[in-house]
Each structure stands twice: as structure tokens, then as C-alpha cells.
Structure 1
């Protein structure tokens, strides 16, 4: 903390001009009402923090430092209302410093010397507004009810700011929790594709270099000595700017085709079908109870409100709430939904492996659709695109979970359209296998071109 050596007040509150030499000692201001005792306390607080507690908070109406800080005779001259403190800072070896602040430039105090340690000492005081308590505040704390008293103390110590920060961090954490599974799937897909291209069992700096450098040597490129986030495996490789169609990478496309077959087969396995059936049955059981469906929707709304709460008012109805009151209010409501929440969480856990399988199939489809566009003439990938759209719709609905009836429908198989799409795609995959022949070369020629690269 600091000790006040001297204070100079000018045209501030009810004081025209006053200088007190305190020499770092404790002092008491006494006198009749209206003689400026509180004004001295206000001046000290203003110089150190730029604020006056008595002009803020409940019951103060439209009072403000800017309008009511200057002396009444200087209300139109805020630059004339100023406070200067000469202080001693014991923690810095009794170093002397000065801080001066005027109402006009309330947020820009002049500090001498402007050393980092001096500025830090003043900022430390600014973080502890409890160093000044007026008579009105003391009476308020004494007379307030126990429950309200704790809130007043929290406000005094600025713990409400900590609660607001906690709320913001919680929103970020919730957002990360929602987005993380998708990012993890994308990362896993990228790693799988890279391992397939490099034809290596593990992803490490050594395995990447051992796989890439022999290929770079064939191309006449210098070997790479290190791999980091900025390294391009194509470094030194120039590409033609002609408009000729791109060539399909045979090795990569062959691996991608095998990956797609595995992904499609995974959609047809008994464990996958059983997982869908189990999740569908549990969703159907939950859907029988109309109250549970309503509770499930309310739970989502309440959790969203809890995430969006800014520390002052409910984000749904704009009703003012104290942080503890709001969280307590919603916690009570969410407690009634605990059973439904557990059942919902169980269904979401059952849906996760289903989502992973569908996502893998969609990623594999995207890759093969890109390959189809590189042939000349291009392969008609309409069936693949249509199948991808169907998978995407199912994936998105399963992710949302609600409305529950739509989720149940998404888990079921489109018995008329799904087989035709799958069969069409299987035919395409068959023709693209290396070594496959067919008399109808006009039809399958582009597809088997992957074998002739």
C-alpha cells in the first residue's frame, strides 16, 4: 500500500482549495456537518481510482463524477477540479511519488515519476476499492440483511467481476466442448490420409522424412532435413500453369478407394446396425413421454441462458438478476430435469460411435468425388453426391438430437433410396479397381483410367 505525505484539493466537491500535510501518518477529520470531511475522503479515492463510491451504486440516482465531482462553482469547468497526492511507497523503500487527476481527464492521471514500479503500486491500490468506506456505506453494511450483506461485500471486493469472468470462461469452455469432437474427427481423417499417402505406419518426423526424401530424390529435389509447421513437402517443386486437366494420383486414389469401401462396409455391419437400433429404441422410449420431450427442450434453453448470462440480466427475458440469484434460480430448475438429462446424455453417448462412422463415410465420399472430377472426361459422380447429401443430413440431425422424432427418423434406413445409391456407388467402385476390364470401354474407360496411370 501507500502512505499520503501531502494532499492538495482544488475546486472538488464542497472544497474550493485545501492543502493538508500528513507526513505519512494516520489522521482523522472531524468537524460539524457540511464542513467537507467526506470531501477529503472522496478526494483521496478520486485521485487514486478516478471514482467516487458515494456517487455510484444503488440509491444514487443520476449522480456521476463528471457532473457532481467539481465544486458547484466550477461545474462547467471540470478541468479546474483536481486532486494531487504526494505519497510514500514503503514497499519500494519509501520511494516518493505523486499522482494528480482532474475531473476532465479522469482516466488519464499524471504520475511522477512514471516508473513501472510506481505505476504498478498505484494500480494495486486501484484494485482494492475497500480502502475507502464512507459513512453511508458503513451504515449500509451494518443495516443490510445477512444475505444482502454478503452480496454487498462481494461488490465491494469486486468479486462480481470475477463471476462475470468465470461466466465468459465457461462460455468458451462450452463452445470448445461442442466444437472439439468435429475437430478431432477432422484431425484423425487428415492423419489417416497422410499416413496412407506416405505409406508409413506412424506419424513422426523421422517417418515423414524417410518417406518423402526418396520421392524428392526421384524428382531431383533437395532432401528435407527437418519438418515443422511451416514446412511444405512440395518445397522446390514447380507446377505447370497450363489448363490441362489434373492427373489422378493412382497410388493415393487406390488407397482412398479402399478406405471408402471400408467406410461403406462399416455402415452395413451388424454392430453398426445394432448401435442404431439401440439408440433408436432409447430415443423412442424417451419420446413416449410428452413431458420428457418438453423437459428436454427446456433443458437446452436453460443451459443456453446460463451460458449467455452477462452477470446483470437474464438473456431470455431481460429480467435483472444478481449472479448468485440467477445461477441458483436456474440450478433449481435444472435439478428437476436431472433424470431426463441423464437419459439424454446416455443417448448422446450411444450416438457418438454412429456419428464417427457416418463422418468417416462422408469424408471418404468427399475424397472420391474430388478424384472423379480429375478424369477427362469427368466421371459422373451424381450418385455419390446424392448419397453424400443423404449422409450429411443424417449426420447433422443426429448431432442436434432434437427434435427427437426427426432424430429417430434419421437413425432409420431409407429402405427405398439407400440401397439404390449404395449399389450404384459399388458399381463405380468396382470399375475403378486396378485390373478391371469391361467390353463397354466408352462407359468405364474413364473409371479404369486409374489403373493405367
Structure 2
């Protein structure tokens, strides 16, 4: 598979449609800065992966490369926006086309099958294929000398296709880890079995130590039969005794409060007569208060209402004041129009005021009588409340005494003194203690059962311990075998990889010698170290790291040697192209000629070379150095801008192959 053409419109800086066809041998693209050379390589990667890897880490605010994949400048694009890349497989053409609507879709399976050998390819095969085939100016040092030794080895390992071994190593490691976990679980189970066995043995010893003497057990049985009934068999005594203990506990729950309440009830009993006297006194006070209230009510009823007298007095005063203000009118009273003298009129007004004062005094007296009535009613209520309180206290005391006496009668202690109650309480306590002690001795039979059960548990624990030891042994054997498999997988992978590296590393050294980055250190050494994690180290002059001693141009030439060797080592790649985006930055003319010679050899070996440079003279040099074949002549493409300032192809021409046998004489001349 080789690259046939790139056709794009509205992509990145290309506002108008541009198509560039590539030769199967080599194509040199030149143009000034901004002419769109790098975009050609971006279009190839975008068509295959849907993104541009060199911008994946670039972020600015909320923007990314996805916001600038398509034309964002002034003016509209002429036609639909698209990127189309064609590949040629002998005589067959396969193309992939992307638009803004399907930018993230996957490349066609038919194309992927032609570009990649899926059986040996790594997981991110297409991304790695693009990074190994498209060698960019800004990535030459970063993906070679500046790469960490572990990442550098991973890049080379994936390039030569040694990926299955890693899967086997991971599987073997997973088996080894699982075996280790099984050993830990078996060891934990063994420790738990040992602990259970120790507890069972201790239980047996403790139960045996708790066994009493046979004579003590017989005496306990006789005592229990005497207390609980002589007809009870020995095996029945525990159940009968426990029922008796429950009955004793119930009696104690009743007798104990009787002893505690005896003094309080005695005091309450002696105060009952006094409470009867208080009730009678309260009843007498109620009667007295009721009689006083009746008298007050009668006094109030006999006189006019205080409010009526007061109203009459106020009206008379108002009337007298009004008459005094108006005065006589033509010798007549202004109130009744009767003829009257001035002296008589004044005398009448004074007489009205005197009557008003008399009425007001009566109102005050009437109010006093009403107040006395209210006080008598309040005193009656207080007396009735006091009577109710005294009756309640007397009734509660009588009820408490009667209840206490009833409980005494219930326990056969009617009329008993405090000492009798305490003796009953003490007797119940002694009986309970005696039965409890004897029951513990009689429970020897249950202790025997406990010993038998503990002994059985001990034997089961021994069996469990034996099984746990057996499982632990099998787990350790499995762990040993799993580790052996893991070690064998790593050794096999390392040996396989070392065999492949033995074929690849000389290629790196050969490319380094041909590019000649350094005038003194003419050769570079590649060493692989590490067991579980592998590292690829580059060194010159014995043990010197070129990353820190080479100039930028020397580092770039060394990086080109490494990346070209990686590309040539892609055993799983069927893409026979090498794309170089301005690889000669900071590289002098002498080493540029060496690079051209290396590319010429690659072109002769069947590789397609597509290289972009800025200098037109350098482009002409590379066109002369690289071989232009009869069936596939080389091509030179110059990018520039049209009248509208849009990127366009200024010149596109084929490089005519050199005339073969130009210095060979004809047969006639040689014979002469």
C-alpha cells in the first residue's frame, strides 16, 4: 500500500479545493512558511484516525484542535468541506473521505486490513502507524532522544510486533497473583483452624475442671428432694427446681415491697383519725361560708342597684348645670317653661344638686354590699376546694392502707409486724440460694453432655486443621508452579524480543553511520536492560548520553536514524510509505546530503518517500539524488497562493528518469 493522492477543501488553511498526486517512488513538496506543507501530512493522519496527534495536548481555555480542523479564516470555502486521501495497492485504488459530519468515524475496515496485519499489530495500531510513518519536524527529537528509556523501548517493541508475549506475561502474572492470594487465604484458614482447635481444647479442660465430687452431688439430690418433694426423680429435679426458683422470685417481688412500705403505711394508718377530723372541720367551714354568702345576697337584693343610683345622680347634675348655663328666659324656667323668680330658680338648682349627692352616696354603699357578696362567694369556693382536697387525701390514705392489708392477707401475713415480713423475705432468699447451689451440683449430667459436645468439637477442629494444612500445601505448590510459568513466560518473551532486536538494532547503527550526525562518535550503541520493565538506552563513546552532548542538529540527525529504523521495523505494517515533514531543520547541508542518500536507498528498496522542505534549492537537490524510475517517475510539487491569497499548487511536475546506458558505445564502435 502506498499513498496515491490527497484531495482537500476547507480543511485547516486550505480555503479552496486542492489535489496533490503522489508518485510511487518519491514526491518532494516545497514552499515557504504557511504554504500548507504540514497540512498535507495532517490531512493524511486526520483521514486515518479522525484527529491530529500533534495537537492533542494543546488546550487554550475551552478550545482544542477540534475547533480549528476546518477553515476559520475570512471568506467562504468554495465548495463542500472535506478531506479525501487515496491509497494505491498495485492497480487497485482505495480512498477514505471525511467531512465535518463524520469527522470522528472510524476508517473503513477494507483500508485498515490493507494497511495493518491485525494478527501482530498492537492495540493502538493506527495511531502508532501514523506516528511511525509521518515523521514530523517537531517530533523528531521528542520521539527519539528526548523519550524516556522505558517509553523508547515500548515504541520499538510495538514496532517490531512483539505484543503477544506481553499478553502471555500478563496472564501468567495474573495466575501467579491468584495463586499468591490462594496461599494467603489458605494460611489465614489454617490459623483460624488452629485457633478454633485451641478454644475447643480449653473448653474441654474448663468443663472437666467444673465437675464436682460424686458425694456432693448425692447430698444435693437429697436436699432438693426434701425441698421439692421426695417423689421426684434425680433427672426431674433440675426442671422442678427451676420452676420453684421462678415461684420464689415472684414471691420476693411481692414481699420485698411490703417490707419497704411497712413504715410508710403504719404512719398513714395512724393518721386516718386525724384526717377524718380535718374533713369535718372543712365541712363546717363550708357551711359557714354558705351562710355568709346567703346573707350578702339578701343585703344586695334589698337595695337598688348601684349602677341605677349613679346614673340618676349624673343626670340630675347635668340637668342642673344646663339650667344654670341657660338661665331664666323672660322670667320662665328654660327647662319647664314655668314662671319663677331668680332666687327661687337658683334655690331649685341647689336642691337638685343636693339630691344628686345623696343618690351617689347610696350607690357607694350598694357597691360595698356587692363586693361583700363576691368575697363571700370566693370564700365558699375556697372552702369547698379545701373540703374536696381533704376528702381525697383521706380516701387515698384509706385505699393505700386497705390495699397493703389485702397484700398481707394474700401472703398469709395479715396483722403481721415488720419483723415477720422480714423473716418471710429472708426465708425465701435462703431457699432460693440453697436450691440454686444444689441445682449447680445436680447439673453434672449436663456438664457431661457439655464435655461430650466439646470433645466432638475438638475432633472436628482437628479434622478442619488437617484439611486446611492440606489445602495450604496444594496452594503453595500451585504458587510455585505459577511463579515458574510466570518466569518462563518472561524469559521466553525476553528471548524472543532479543532475537528480534538483534535484527533491528544493527539497522539503527547502520542508519546512524550513514547520516553521520557527529564527526568523532561515528557509531551509536543501543543497549536493552531490565527484567520485568525493559529500557532502551542510546549511548556514544562508551557511556555518553547523546541527549545532553549533541547539538540540536546532531540530535535531529540521530533522531531521524532512530525513527527511520522504527519505521523499517514495523513488521505488522503493510504501508510502504515514509512521510517526512521538513526533517532538515537545524541540519547542515553536509548531513542533508547524507539524508538524501539514505532516502534514495530506501526509495530503491521499494519504499515511497514523501518529503516536504522549505528551501526550493534543497527540493531540487533531493529530486536529483532520489531515483526516478521508468514506471514510477518522481514528482516535485511547489505550493504557493493564488490571486485571492488562497493556498494553491504553483507547480507540479514529474522528474524525468536518467537515460540508461548513455555512456555505452554501440556494438559497431566497440568492434572497430
Q: TM-score, normalised by structure 1?
A: 0.33
If asked which structure has higher relative contact order (CA below 8 Å, sep 6+), I would say 2
Instruction: Determine which structure has more spread, i.e. the larger CA radius of gyration.
Output: 2
TM-score between both structures, scaled by the size of structure 2: 0.23
